[in-house]
Structure 1
Amino acid sequence: MQHVPLLSGLLTALALASLPVQADDISVAVAANFTAPLKQIAAEFEKDTGHKVVASFGSTGKFYAQIRNGAPFEILLSADDETPAKLVKEGAAVAGSQITYAMGRLVLWSAKPGLVDAAGAVLQKGRFEHLSLADPKLAPYGAAAVQTLKALGAYEALQPRIVTAENITQALQFISSGNAELGFVALSQVQKDGKIEGSFWLVPAKLYTSIRQDAVLLDKGKGATAAAALLKYLQGDKARAIIKSFGYELP
């Protein structure tokens, strides 16, 4: 009869040992282009660690302003490497915590098959009324789009047709809804299982500044075990495989 309490205690100890020491919520600000990959990564992270990612998606520029105004984010997944570095310099992020989690790729995309050619000549031919891109002042992919247009010598001529979106997600919505026939978005937004519907031009990397997407531990996440665990997880094989599947290059 004395063995029953012992067995019960052993099972309880094993059950507790299988749980994370402490499961926490992590508040993360995420660049809009990384929405789909982060959702997949967060699901795997929660299964593997018990910690839950509470994500907000938007433009890097807006997140910067919110963080400087005291927003309670613990981690920033930026669409560039300059914003995290700036936050570190300003004392709003932890020095030495900045990592590159993905290398972004810009694509000119249309929901209409045959509209965008493989060389991007549609920009010169002008068979469209509206061209969507994210606000270049707030979104690195928008800045890359403007750099591309200027490199092609097409910016001045096309400027009246540009429809500026708040972020890259809204830019995609403008194109998908038909409010703009085509536009510049992140490859990760339109590629699924290695395939892209509609028509597209993968913009040569030489036409715009490399899009290094960095993550950084913010001041409000300093000392948080769960936040540190997420940054480490982003560099692991499982997360990297997900990131690559969306068309990003890996650092």
Structure 2
Amino acid sequence: MLDTTYSVETPEGVDLRAQAAGPVPRILAYGVDIFYRSLILIALAIALAFAENAGLGIWLLCSFLLEWFYPVYFEVMHGGQTPGKKAFGLVVVNDNLTPISWSASLLRNLLRFADFLPFAYAAGVVSMTLGRHFQRLGDLAAGTLVVYRRESKAPQTLPDVTPLPPPRGLQLQDQQALISLIERSGELSEARQRELAELLEPLTGKKERAALDYLRSVGTWLLGGQTGGK
């Protein structure tokens, strides 16, 4: 059985994992997006029919914008999901599993012309099929990949703690690593959890048990402000 697990180890020693999406669900998601874009263009054509040449110019401009910036807008502004990807539970992320950036989304989508070569996205399909993580050429250039969206998981049962906001300077990747640490607390020994917690001592100023308790409080805050054990 093909293992599609994609794993990244953070500087704090916490593994972030996701399941890479293969060609079939990605092609189906792309088909859904083409359907929605086609509906928009048909509606615009009907609305602009009276404007003759000017209407044609506006329609062509809208067609260009939809072709190149429809996916960029949704990927950046809607959590890495176009309507098609959302329908199939897919999400685009950076290859370190952080949310996709404007520059990465622009690059991966502008390079779709390379994936299209020589016809019908043949190069992109071949790249996804041969690559371990199903990345098309645009993904490889932009440092992105498409994964299955993880369902939100309730945090592991913890001792009652008061939620605390994260310390200043805690980067997004560190926050994701902390959430992963809280969710996997049942899989890690107490000693290993303390070891990982101490790696953030420069930010927390705490050691050993105090560091772990503090990070549990921050973790419950990041997971929605719910106190552990409730």
Query: What band does the TM-score fall into relative to the shorter chain?
Result: under 0.3
- Structure with more of its chain in strand, by fraction: 1
Higher relative contact order (CA 8 A, sep 6+): 1
TM-score of the two chains, using structure 1 as the length reference:
0.26
